């Protein structure tokens, strides 16, 4: 009768420690960038605020014969549709300037019908602004934030409801 010998493997605490350190050494460079940036993931984004305000303007226009609000009270007019005063504040201005808002309405479109806007996917209704007051507005894009507030560009809201990031030079041309 033949007996099978089983090979004996030795595992020592030092060997276990070396294997664990090796695994951690491989995983830390992979996972550290994810952990380091995760604290910003829970912060509301400016792009989200612009989109919500653009949708509030569209909802307002649907309730008022397809017309946009007056430029001087666009935030007051759209507040019932957003129900959150913090949406009107740019999150990047928050820590240093808690009483500033940061968005402006393109007053070129004040009291205009939404159906009269040709190419609504290209026309900018809202944008990051240098005027940080409540109900800020300016004709065209003259009040756009300069220097740009977000990585060399500004966030804008278009007349069709979508939001986007644009460079200041591409808007001015």
**Ranges of each domain in the chain:** 12-41, 46-172
State residue 18's pLDDT score: 83
State residue 4's pLDDT score: 67
Q: Which of 76, 94, 82 is nearest to 136 (CA)?
A: 76
Convert the pLDDT of each residue in 112-162 to its tens digit: 999 999 999 999 999 999 888 999 999 988 888 888 888 888 999 999 999
State residue 52's pLDDT score: 95
State residue 160's pLDDT score: 94
CA distances to 8, 22, 147 from 141, in Å: 77, 56, 14
Inter-helix orientation angle 46-63/74-82, to 10°: 100
Whole-structure pTM value = 0.72
User: Which residue ranges of the chain lie beneath pLDDT 70?
Assistant: 1-10, 34-44, 94-98, 168-173
């Amino acid at each position: 009768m033949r007996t099978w010998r089983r090979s004996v493997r030795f595992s020592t605490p030092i060997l276990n420690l070396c294997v664990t350190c090796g695994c951690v050494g491989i995983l830390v460079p992979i996972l550290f960038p994810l952990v380091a940036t995760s604290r910003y993931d829970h912060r509301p984004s400016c792009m989200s605020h612009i989109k919500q305000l653009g949708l509030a303007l569209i909802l307002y226009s649907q309730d008022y014969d397809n017309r946009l609000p007056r430029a001087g009270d666009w935030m007051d007019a759209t507040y019932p549709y957003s129900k959150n005063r913090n949406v009107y504040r740019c999150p990047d201005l928050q820590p240093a300037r808690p009483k500033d808002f940061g968005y402006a309405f393109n007053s070129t479109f004040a009291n205009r019908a939404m159906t009269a806007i040709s190419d609504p996917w290209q026309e900018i209704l809202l944008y990051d602004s240098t005027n940080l007051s409540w109900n800020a507005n300016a004709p065209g894009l003259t009040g756009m934030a300069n220097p740009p507030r977000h990585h060399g560009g500004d966030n804008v809201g278009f007349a069709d409801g979508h939001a986007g990031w644009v460079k200041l030079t591409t808007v001015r041309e």
